[in-house]
């Protein structure tokens, strides 16, 4: 059985892996929206699917995915960003993906659900020791 110190280090490493993957995917989706459609094109796309206030929604979604994704990778303000990502994905499921079933290949909700659940989990766990949040917390304890 691993020691408490080893167990904590393994948990922190697990959080790094999860943060990098989830944050990296969120960042990539935000970047895709900017590079492919820009804010106006993303707003038009969201509006065509019935998303309310598509101009506002486009800016919010892109910011959460692009900036929030980078913040997750770095482990910065993870509890807040994780909740925002979860809310973004709940909106994506409810307003866009739900009618298409489970599978992402059909436009379904599986990826949004996974990213939302991971965002929620990361908001509940915190960033771990190997993060900007961890470094700030460590300095405060001194």
Question: Cβ contacts of residue 110 below 8 Å, gap of 6+?
Answer: 102, 103, 104
Residue 8 lies in a domain: no
Could you please report the per-residue DSSP string of 15-81?
Answer: HHHHHHHHHHHHHHHHHHHHHHTHHHHHHHHHHHTT-SSHHHHHHHHHHIIIIIHHHHHHTSSHHHH
Q: With bands split at pLDDT 50, 70 and 90, how would you rate the model's confidence at 126?
A: very high
- The mean pLDDT of the chain is 96
Structure tokens at 132: 């900007």
CA distance 102 to 44: 25
Structure tokens at 22: 């989830």
Q: With bands split at pLDDT 50, 70 and 90, how would you rate the model's confidence at 142?
A: confident
Query: Which pLDDT score, from 0 to 100, does residue 38 have?
Result: 97
Residue 1 lies in a domain: no
Residue 6 lies in a domain: no
Q: What is the per-residue pLDDT across 30-42, written as a single tens digit (0 to 9) for each?
A: 999 999 999 999 9
CA distance 121 to 117: 6
CA distance 59 to 41: 11
Residue 13 in this model has a pLDDT that exceeds 90: yes
Q: Residue 63 is part of which domain span?
A: 13-141
- How many domains is the chain built from? 1
Residue 93 lies in a domain: yes
Residue 29 lies in a domain: yes
Residue 1 in this model has a pLDDT that exceeds 80: no
Query: Which pLDDT score, from 0 to 100, does residue 2 have?
Result: 81
- Averaged pLDDT, 18-23: 98
Q: What is the per-residue pLDDT across 21-64, written as a single tens digit (0 to 9) for each?
A: 999 999 999 999 999 999 999 999 999 988 999 999 999 999 99
Alpha-carbon torsion 96, 99, 104, 105, what sign? negative
Q: What is the per-residue pLDDT across 76-106, written as a single tens digit (0 to 9) for each?
A: 999 999 999 999 999 999 999 999 999 999 9
Residue 57 lies in a domain: yes
Query: Which pLDDT score, from 0 to 100, does residue 86 have?
Result: 98
């Amino acid at each position: 059985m691993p020691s408490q110190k080893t167990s904590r280090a393994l948990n922190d490493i697990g959080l790094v892996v999860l943060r990098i993957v989830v944050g990296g995917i969120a960042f990539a989706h935000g970047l895709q929206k900017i590079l492919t459609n820009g804010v106006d094109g993303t707003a038009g796309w969201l509006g065509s699917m019935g998303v309310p206030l598509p101009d506002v929604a486009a800016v919010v979604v892109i910011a959460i995915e692009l900036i929030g994704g980078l913040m997750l990778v770095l482990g910065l303000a993870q509890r807040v960003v994780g909740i925002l990502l979860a809310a973004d994905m709940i909106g994506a499921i409810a307003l866009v993906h739900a009618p298409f079933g489970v599978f992402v290949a059909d436009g379904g909700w599986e990826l949004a659900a996974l990213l939302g659940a991971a965002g929620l989990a990361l908001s509940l766990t915190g960033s771990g020791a190997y993060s900007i949040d961890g470094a700030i917390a460590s300095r405060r304890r001194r």
